Amino acid sequence: FSSHDTESDEGRQALSLLRDVYIEMGDKGSFDALVKENKLGRLARLDLSEEDSLTYESAMNALRQKDTAKTIQNIQSYLEQYPEGLFAISLRFQRAEILFKQGKKEQALEDYIYLAEVQHQYTERSIRQSASIHFTAKRFDKALPYYRKAEKVASNPEFYQ
Per-residue pLDDT tens for 5-59?
445 666 666 666 766 777 676 676 666 666 666 555 544 455 556 777 888 888 8
How far is it, in rounded angstroms, from Cα 159 to Cα 161?
A: 6
> What global pTM score does this model have?
0.72
In 3D space, the residue among 4, 20, 52 whose CA is nearest the CA of residue 31 turns out to be: 20
In 3D space, the residue among 117, 118, 100 whose CA is nearest the CA of residue 108 turns out to be: 100
- The pLDDT tens digits for 77-103 are 999 988 998 899 999 999 999 999 999
How far is it, in rounded angstroms, from Cα 12 to Cα 71?
A: 28
In 3D space, the residue among 85, 157, 86, 153 whose CA is nearest the CA of residue 124 turns out to be: 153
How far is it, in rounded angstroms, from Cα 48 to Cα 75?
A: 17
Helices (H) and strands (E) in the chain, counts: 9, 0
Q: How far is CA 65 from CA 20, 22, 82, in A?
A: 16, 13, 23
Q: How confident is the model at residue 72 (pLDDT cuts 50, 70, 90)?
A: very high
